[in-house]
Chains A and B, each alone.
Chain A
Amino acid sequence: MHCVMNNTETNNQNRVLEIKNSNIAVSVYNVWKSYESGKIKVLSDVNLQIKKGELVALWGVSGSGKSTLLHLIGGLDTIDNGRITTADLDPTNENERLELRRNKVGFIFQLHNLIPDLTLGENCLIPTLTTNISVPESRKRLNELIEMTGLQDRLHHRIQDLSGGERQRAAICRALINNPMIILADEPTGSLDEETGSQIFSLFKKLIDEKNITVIMATHERRFAEECDKIFKVKNGKVSQI
């Protein structure tokens, strides 16, 4: 028993070293996920690897499991079986998951999920409350991001006074404020018109160019998926690269 445990620990350590030394941002090994005690199978034996600085699309129709996979990668949901490593951290471990959310990963949702009573600027600064970033530093980062996303005139506006595209750009600012290495975007263009959706997508490409961030985007829109570095097609809980 002791010997088996030692072997397992050594294998895990080797795997961690392998990932840390490599250029891998996200690794998903034999991941299974179901709901309602296995009655609804969402993901079956999913395997994939995403390199740092890549723009990746998880493409599939609604209900295919792409959002679930994204949530598992970000530690928002728990896996039934398998192993996920995101930014060298294990999302199933509580402490590592916290570190992941605070410093390594930024989330963007289809419905922006901004707090309506706060201004755009205040919403963007929420993640800084979880880190030791100084106030001047967080202000500096906010100004940079606001400038990059073209929201200078909207900084002190409340969320209800912003358009859908502005809200989504604000959500991007919030996701980037702690300088994460990975952005997980769940249908970021899903609630936007075609033109605004294209603007948001262009913004992702700009981010990768300027900040070398990995972007994993769940989308059902083929036109955006085709412009990504890598496409993983999600269908009936199975994932395959195309």
Chain B
Amino acid sequence: MNFAKLIFINLKRHRIRSLIGISGIAFGVAAMLTVLSVITGAIDMFEDILSNNSDYIVFEKNVSDLFFSSINSTQIEKIGSLSMVEDAFPILFGIVSSENHPVITCFGINKNDPRLANAKWLYGSPRNFYSHKNSVYLGSRAADFLEAKYLKNIRIGKKTFNVRGILQLENGFENGGVFMPLKTAQEYFHRDNYVSVFMIKLKHTNSGSEFKKQVETLYPDLSVLQNKEFSNSYSQFKILSATSWAIGACACLLGGMGVANTMIMSVFSRMREIAILVVCGFSKSQVRLLIFGETTFIVICGSILGLIGGVCFVYLLETIPTLNGYIQSAFNIKIIVGILVVAFTSSWLGALYPAWYASKIQPIDALRYE
């Protein structure tokens, strides 16, 4: 006979009720994992776009979104010619639309952009990038959903483009995107001589602070951040991240409330049993431990099931053709620990009242009660 046995007999006795409690936590954990891994994956994908073979990102100061950032050609030339710069890649971000697909990300880039060389070219060649007027290059997923064929024309917005290449890229956003030569994109978006961001690769990484200082002195209206700094400070990422944690935590809190309900029912249905334990010498803290023990077992089972369920669900989402590529889940230890902390905390908070109530049971009243 041991203390754990007393915990398990009640869970075993009320299997359905225990399963409901476990399911509540499992759904909460799975929902939290899904939301967080999908959002974190999306942020990672966006970070990946910006950090492609570069150390620093230059963009317009105080813009709410990089899509609204504008750097003019004079600035680009001047920054690109700084002595510590090894390579520089301007990008003009834009949103294009086609029939049935109102939002497609467009990347206006130069021929030297590393993503062209790093991509697997299914059709066409990076050598021909820029070689044709009104040419467009599609990520393989974009080609799929736009039903575009190599060397055929497609309608994007009010203009017709000729598909001069289809690329397979690892990044889901890029693979679902449209690539245009920078000049074509500037013309299309009516932003002649402007780009959104300027990706910089330095000759020596230790010259970063000097680079930053020079650019900010030359152009006080521009921001220069290391890729990591940018990720940490970009408000859109922060909002996305905070929102996903909040939504996930709400899901877990609902699970915690389910556990609270399970435990309240558990205490009410075993008042006599608790009274017997008290008569046998159980202290208030031992009675509370009993309730918290049951709760902990429920939350452990629920968390394990929820994590497994969440991973399976996310992988299932990734296989859905319409979402293919947009969802690239990212699991990391911070997410797992965060979910477990929220799940355990909400469950233990939910067990506070039942545990307190159980510890207050007067044996004589409870023995008389049933």
Residues of B whose CB lies within 8 Å of any CB of A are 1-3, 5-6, 9, 12-13, 272-273, 276-283, 286, 362-364, 367
Contacts and interface: CB of A to CB of B under 8 A. Distances in A.
Contact of B364 (A77, A127, A131): A77
A113 B272 contact: yes
Which interface residue of A109, A129, A178 has the most chain B CB atoms within 10 A? A129
Interface string A84-105: 0000000000000010011100
Given A71-B364, A115-B273, A126 B13 contact: no
Contact of A113 (B1, B281, B282, B367): B367
A120 B345 CA distance: 37
Contact of A127 (B9, B272, B281): B281
Nearest to A103: B281
Contacts of B9: 115, 117-118
B368 to A, nearest CB: 10
Interface string A63-92: 000000001000011000000000000000
Secondary structure of the B side of the interface? helix
B2 A129 contact: yes
Interface of A: 71, 76-77, 98, 101-103, 107, 109, 113-115, 117-118, 121-122, 125-131, 138, 174, 178
7 contacts: A76-B367, A77-B364, A102-B281, A121-B1, A122-B5, A129-B2, A129-B286
Nearest to B273: A115
A127 B1 CA distance: 10
B280 A126 contact: yes
Contacts of B272: 113
Contacts of A101: 278-281
Nearest to A175: B280
A127 B280 contact: yes
Given A98-B281, A101-B281, A113 B276 contact: yes
A121 B279 CA distance: 18
A178 B277 CA distance: 14
Q: 10 closest Cβ contacts across the A-B interface?
A: A102-B281, A130-B281, A125-B1, A101-B281, A127-B280, A117-B9, A76-B364, A122-B1, A77-B364, A126-B280
B1 to A, nearest CB: 4
B364 A126 contact: no
A114 B9 CA distance: 14
Nearest to B365: A77
Contacts of A138: 1
Contacts of A121: 1
Nearest to B13: A117
Nearest to A109: B367
